[in-house]
Structure formats: structure tokens, C-alpha cells
Amino acid sequence: IVVSWSEAKGLKQGNCVNCFLEIKSVFEERKTWYLEHFGIVPQFKAGFHLGEVTTGVIGIVKKDIIYTGDPLNTTARIQEQCNYYRVETLISRVLMKRLEPQKNISYTKVAEMTLRGKKNKMALYQLQLSMN
């Protein structure tokens, strides 16, 4: 799943991160239902990054929306690293530095690395919730 925002809306009050947290919360609230119907509760990991993406519509009869741009590739690479580091979320320093501080969210540096297909190193942080 790719979720995109205008920069202003995504950064405002941490909407881009809070969207993930809300989706996770809904799955947790419906945990019993998922177990009864499917025998498993959906789980997912998320990579977060910031950058310019181009959106377009292709097709005449069957139309599809397409997204292109380096941030999509970078975000996919960030999300891949969740498995390697066994974490649920990873966020780029670029995005983390732009987010407004939230009292229940902190970030811990996990790595500084060159992502697959990239030339420059990128710092990655794990999003952590506090129960305060």
C-alpha cells in the first residue's frame, strides 16, 4: 500500500505517521474478528520518506493512477529494511527532521546505510510510541 500526501498535509501534526498508527489501531480493535474469520491478524510494516512524486492517469477504458519518482523507490527500500532490523517502522532522517514533535512519539537511530540502488548514505530511525 502506498499512501501519499501533499507535503503540508502530511507533515501537519504528523499526519503521515499518525495514519499508520490509526490503521494499526483499527486492526488491533478488530483482532478477535480477524482471528474468528481468518485465523490470523493482519500485520504490516511501514517505511516513511519525503520527496516529490508525480501522479498521472493512464488508460482509456480501464484507467489506472500511477505514481512515479525517486521517493517511492527510496521509501520501498526503507520499508525493506524493516525486515532486516526486525522493526515495524523505519523513517528517513529527512522526514523525521521535518515532523512536528509529538509527546507520545520518539525516534531511535537504527542505521546509517546506503540503500540498494542508491549512492548516498541515509540515516534510518525507528518510530517508538510511549504510553505517557
The residue count of the chain comes to: 132
Is residue 47 a part of any domain in this protein? yes
Is residue 2 assigned to a domain? no
Instruction: Please report which confidence band the pLDDT of residue 96 belongs to, taking 50, 70 and 90 as the band edges.
Output: very high
Which pLDDT score, from 0 to 100, does residue 125 have? 97
Structural domain including 91 reads 7-129
Q: Who wins on pLDDT, 2 or 46?
A: 46
Q: Which of 103, 125, 121 is nearest to 48 (CA)?
A: 125
Kindly provide the residue ranges of all beta strands, DSSP E only, lying in the chain, ordered along the sequence: 46-48, 54-58, 64-68, 89-92, 105-114, 121-129
Reported confidence tier of residue 103, pLDDT bands at 50, 70, 90: confident
For the entire predicted model, the pTM comes to: 0.85
Nearest to 49 by CA among 88, 87, 85, 2: 2
For the record, the C-alpha cell of 108 comes out as: 531511535
pLDDT of res. 67: 84
- 77 belongs to a structural domain: yes
What is the C-alpha separation between 64 and 132, in angstroms, rounded?
A: 43
pLDDT over threshold 70, residue 39: yes
Domain membership flag for residue 27: yes
Average pLDDT value for residue range 100-109: 91
Tell me if 104 is assigned to some domain: yes
pLDDT of residue 6: 87
Give the pLDDT confidence score for residue 2 in this predicted structure: 78
Beta strand 46-48 pairing with 89-92: parallel
pLDDT of 49 > 80? The answer is yes
The band of 5, judged by pLDDT with boundaries at 50, 70 and 90, is: confident
Indicate whether 101 belongs to any domain: yes
The tally of domains found in the chain comes to: 1
CATH value at residue 94:
3.30.70.1230
